[in-house]
Amino acid sequence: AQSVTQLDSQVPVFEEAPVELRCNYSSSVSVYLFWYVQYPNQGLQLLLKYLSGSTLVKSINGFEAEFNKSQTSFHLRKPSVHISDTAEYFCAVSRAGGSNYKLTFGKGTLLTVNP
Amino acid sequence: GAVVSQHPSRVICKSGTSVKIECRSLDFQATTMFWYRQFPKQSLMLMATSNEGSKATYEQGVEKDKFLINHASLTLSTLTVTSAHPEDSSFYICSATSGGAYEQYFGPGTRLTVT
């Protein structure tokens, strides 16, 4: 079984400041890693994913995350945030390979960007 | 592409009644659909996994007779909450994936309030 720990439940930052949302996972098998974003009263949207290959993955809106196998981490970063980035961010993991697509989610981090 | 819809977005029902929530994949065939429950300010908890034409696989602790899941076609899954009680009030989110893809596409969620 897998588990995900998001160390910060809330992260307040000022607009244009850099941000890092931390995610650590635990698994006895290889995993795929995901970051999802949830705006109020909406479903989840995929922000980025790591399946294989380059350990640094990037989204179209400036977020990036790096898979660190030795530290079992997949932290999410953005060098300069906008007001519109205010949302709940969930880190998730699934078992790599096979036909089981089940996701295990962390508890989420509420990113609040203040003017 | 990869749009998932849910209907209704909000529903209020009286204790003891049943309510059905629909989840549709609009532009792809969903071989697997998932149903999640999300409590306020908490993460998503997987309730069950359903494959088209098969019985759903429920997570431990989820009552299969209370949460009836039907996945009759490659584009539609339904969740029926039977004999609903106030403690069933929650945000229910579905997701869908197509064969061979490890990415889940999420619906916008359904807010259920049982009075």
- Residue A70 in this model has a pLDDT that exceeds 90: yes
| CB contacts, 8 Å: B58 with chain A | none
Mean pLDDT to the nearest integer, A70-90: 96
Collect all residues with Cβ–Cβ distance below 8 Å to B47 and sequence separation of at least 6: B35, B36, B37, B58, B59, B62, B67, B79
What is the percent of chain A where pLDDT is above 70? 97
Q: By the 8 A CB rule, do A19 and A11 touch?
A: yes
Q: Which residues pair with A64 in a beta bridge?
A: A58, A77
The pLDDT score that the predictor gives to residue A98 is 64
Residue B25 contacts A where some CB pair is shorter than 8 Å: no
- Residue A78 in this model has a pLDDT that exceeds 80: yes
Q: Which residues pair with B79 in a beta bridge?
A: B21, B69
Q: Which segments of chain B have a pLDDT < 70?
A: 1, 99-101
The pLDDT score that the predictor gives to residue B15 is 96
**One-letter-per-residue 3-state SS of B64-112:** CCCEEEEEEECCEEEEEECCCCHHHCEEEEEEEECCCCCCCEECCCEEE
Mean pLDDT to the nearest integer, A52-80: 95
Q: By the 8 A CB rule, do B64 and B92 touch?
A: no
CA torsion B66-B88-A1-A5 (nearest 10°) is 170
Burial class (CB in 10 A: 0-12, 13-18, 19+), B100: exposed
- Residue A97 in this model has a pLDDT that exceeds 90: no
The pLDDT score that the predictor gives to residue B101 is 64
The pLDDT score that the predictor gives to residue B113 is 96
Q: What is the mean pLDDT of chain A?
A: 92
Positive or negative: CA dihedral A11, A30, B47, A63:
positive
| CB contacts, 8 Å: B46 with chain A | 102-104
Closest partner CB to B109 (pick from A43, A90, A103):
A43
> Which is nearest to B22 in space by CA: B101, B94, B106, B96?
B94
Strands B90-97 and B57-58: unpaired
Q: Which residue has the tokens 């997701």?
A: B95
Q: How many beta-carbon pairs under 8 angstroms link A with B?
A: 49
How many other CB atoms are there within 10 angstroms of residue B22's CB atom?
Answer: 16
Q: Do B34 and A103 touch (CB under 8 A)?
A: yes
CA atoms within 13 A on the CB side of B69: 27
According to DSSP, residue B61 is labeled T
Which amino acid is present at B84?
A
Query: How far is A31 from B42, CA to CA, in rounded Å?
Result: 23
